[in-house]
């Protein structure tokens, strides 16, 4: 679909959602090859008429160059010519895009999706769709000579799609007895905060709970294989116990509920340019709330006490409940589940950022009633500063805030291979 046609659909989305009669459209949409029968059934299951209309308009952008004129024809054939005229006029009024766009058809796979029994998959309708004039924009470029400094457009990722991308949250709370790992009380608090935060940041949030290692791999691969052509970025959040693994570029690993590890390097590798071509050149962000992994004899030593602090200071208030850590003993080797893949070479990891809740080799603290320190601070910083600051600046704020928590200390960090500054889409 051409860019001006996409923009016309987005500008007319509010009216289409309010007025579009979807029932007469299903048969001609299938008969004229815009959607398959499973795709139509998926759209019909979106909820109310308005929610079905909203999802239909979103998916139309992914159906190739024929989609726009065929949709206008179907509207007129079903007695909705006023809506067709509105879209046609909007398309004619829009100026041509300043740069050539890729006109290859982009298809979003709506069929064959596997849903885990514990999955909490939000419908696309849970993300409010705004008119073009209301859509979130990248923060404005500071004036020349301002205190903020100049920001060249070629050094900022363009994030204008709405929703801007998928956010997959893997939340492991309850671990099997055979895993010898404790349950992660408080992780659901983290998960709920991040679901709300990334929906507010215009992401389509997918949540999976209590997955074994192979199930985690399956979900990650499924997301990587989706067509992200109409989207601008991708986020993966993992809440679990962590460990150390062999690595070339990205240290650490996370556990499935069966106690089997997956290396962070392997997770990142699923989203590289070879495995996920529609994400090439687009930012891929990973947030890992897990310990860095410690060896059993050194466990006590890796609980960083930092320097002497005044416990009466406001930022060192006593926690509301007992502290837990997402640490597990590190046995070498960890088994053959991930070791071969963990040390495999990666292509150049461009456009990737991995944010860790703690420095490798140290524990990550979590409170049952309030969630983890890292997620608490990440959520607060995103709420307060996402409208004005780029991601790396905000992660510095997170690191500074987490490092000031409690008697024991924790130091988040990140591995940054982004080529440009990343700003979350905000009004």
Name the H helices within 307-366: 339-342
Name the H helices within 155-280: 187-200, 213-225, 264-269
Point out the catalytic residue in the list 234, 241, 243, 414.
Answer: 241
Quickly list DSSP for 27-78: HHHHHTTSS-HHHHHHHHTTSSHHHHHHHHHHHHTTS-TTHHHHHHHHHHHT
Nearest by Cα to 253 from 342, 176, 178, 175: 342
CA atoms within 13 A on the CB side of 45: 10
Q: How far apart are CA 210 and CA 240, in angstroms?
A: 9
Q: How far apart are CA 8 and CA 204, in angstroms?
A: 22
Point out the catalytic residue in the list 291, 385, 414, 426.
Answer: 291
Burial 156-177 (b: 16+ CB within 10 A, else e): bbebebbbbbbbbbbbbbebee
180 in catalytic set: no
Packing angle of the helix pair 67-77, 49-60 (nearest 10 deg):
140
The residue written with tokens 């019909």 in the block is: 44
241 in catalytic set: yes
- Contact present, 157 and 233 (Cβ < 8 Å): yes
411 by DSSP, 3-state: which?
Answer: coil
Catalytic (active-site) positions: 241, 291
């Amino acid at each position: 679909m051409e860019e001006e046609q996409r923009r016309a659909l987005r500008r007319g989305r509010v009216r289409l959602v309010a007025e579009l009669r979807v029932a007469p459209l299903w048969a001609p949409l299938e008969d004229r090859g815009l959607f398959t029968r499973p795709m139509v059934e998926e759209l019909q299951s979106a909820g109310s008429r308005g929610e079905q209309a909203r999802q239909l308009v979103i998916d139309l952008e992914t159906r190739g160059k024929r989609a726009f004129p065929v949709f206008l024809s179907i509207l007129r054939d079903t007695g909705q010519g006023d809506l067709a005229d509105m879209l046609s006029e909007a398309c004619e009024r829009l100026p041509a895009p300043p740069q050539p766009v890729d006109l290859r058809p982009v298809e979003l796979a709506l069929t064959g999706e596997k849903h885990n029994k514990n999955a909490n998959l939000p419908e696309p309708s849970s993300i409010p769709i705004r008119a073009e004039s209301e859509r979130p924009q990248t923060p404005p470029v500071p004036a020349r000579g301002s205190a903020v400094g100049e920001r060249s457009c070629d050094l900022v990722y363009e994030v204008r799609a709405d929703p801007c991308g998928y956010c997959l949250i893997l939340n492991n709370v309850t671990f099997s007895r055979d895993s010898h790992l404790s349950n992660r009380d408080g992780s659901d608090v983290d998960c709920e905060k991040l679901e709300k935060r990334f929906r507010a940041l215009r992401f389509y949030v997918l949540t999976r709970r209590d997955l074994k290692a192979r199930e985690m791999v399956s979900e990650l691969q499924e997301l990587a294989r989706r067509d992200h052509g109409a989207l601008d970025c991708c986020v993966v959040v993992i809440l679990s116990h962590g460990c150390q693994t062999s690595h070339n570029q990205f240290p650490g690993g996370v556990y499935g509920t069966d106690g089997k590890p997956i290396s962070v390097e392997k997770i990142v590798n699923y989203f590289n340019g070879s495995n996920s071509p529609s994400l090439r050149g687009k930012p891929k962000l990973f947030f890992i709330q897990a310990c860095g992994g410690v060896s059993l004899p050194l466990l006590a030593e890796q609980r960083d006490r930092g320097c002497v602090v005044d416990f009466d200071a406001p930022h060192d208030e006593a926690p509301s409940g007992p502290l837990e850590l997402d640490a597990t003993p590190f046995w070498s080797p960890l088994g053959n589940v991930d070791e071969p893949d963990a040390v495999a070479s990666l292509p150049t990891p461009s456009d990737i950022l991995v944010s860790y809740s703690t420095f490798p080799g140290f524990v990550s603290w979590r409170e049952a009633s309030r969630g983890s320190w890292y997620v608490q601070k990440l959520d607060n910083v995103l709420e307060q500063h996402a409208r004005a600051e780029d991601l790396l600046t905000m992660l510095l704020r997170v690191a500074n805030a987490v490092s000031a928590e409690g008697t024991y200390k924790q130091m988040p960090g990140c591995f940054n291979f982004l080529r440009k500054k990343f700003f979350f889409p905000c009004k």
